Amino acid sequence: MRPQRFRDHNTQLSVLFGSTHRMADLKNGLLLVAFASILYFSGYAYLDGYYEYYDISVREISPDIHEIIAHGAIFFFQIASKTGFVITLPLLSGLIIIGLIFEISNNFYFLLRRFIVFFGIFIIAIASISAHSLGLDQAKSDLSRLNPMQLSIFTEQNVIVNLPSPPNTQYKYLTSSPDTHFAVAIFQGGDRWWLVRFQKSDTVTLRVFQD
């Protein structure tokens, strides 16, 4: 039997939002927003750590929101495969606890709700820090696996001329933004490398050679 105060509170919310069904939709929507927020912050931190290794700001890449959220999902899959349930389970538990905040509406649980909010923020912070570190490690691992590339230009005589890489180096393709190609010039031996930016142009073509 629910306390009268709890029933009255729900009645007020039902009047405010129209019906209990609309209240349920609102809670489900807020839970979805909370879950998407964790994926977004984790994905952004993952990309920030990844491109930080190559001295690139995420703002230069201009990833869209779908790409960021996708990398947030990649982060959770990678951390699950590396650590099993040691870290993944607490993170998922945090998601569940964040969901509970939308089911607790009695003022009697004011302190508990506040604790849940701070715990949710803590989970987002831990996920972001872990994602940044994992992205950095992934970038180090990917350096040796980047695909070779070739830049070419069209001359005034409409002749295609290949642009050579610096001496004793090979261009490897990294990524592209709306106006820039990012490449890594790796020296022989693989112990040194440079980041190279190429502005996109109608006279410049880029070919990437994949294994």
Question: Which tens digit of pLDDT belongs to each residue from 15-66?
Answer: 444 455 565 565 556 667 777 888 898 899 999 999 999 999 999 998 999 9
Q: Yes or no: say if 28 and 98 are a contact pair by the CB < 8 Å rule.
A: no
Which residues have C-beta within 8 Å of that of residue 167, sequence separation ≥ 6?
none
Cα–chain-centroid distance for residue 66? 9
Q: How many CB atoms lie within 10 A of CB 89?
A: 12
Written as tens digits, the pLDDT of the chain (211 aa) is 444 444 444 554 444 444 555 655 655 566 677 778 888 988 999 999 999 999 999 999 989 999 999 998 888 787 766 655 555 556 666 656 655 555 555 554 555 566 666 666 676 777 778 889 999 999 999 998 999 998 888 776 666 778 778 788 889 999 999 899 999 999 887 778 999 998 888 777 888 888 6
Q: How far is CA 5 from CA 1, 9, 122, in A?
A: 12, 6, 31
- How far apart, in whole angstroms, are the C-alpha atoms of residue 49 and residue 56? 10
C-beta atoms surrounding 208 within 10 Å: 15
pTM of the model: 0.69
The DSSP result for 45-110, as a single string, is HHHHHHHHTTT--HHHH---HHHHHHHHHHHHHHHHHHHTHHHHHHHHHHHHHHHHTTT---GGGH
Q: Which two tokens stand for residue 192?
A: 């040194």
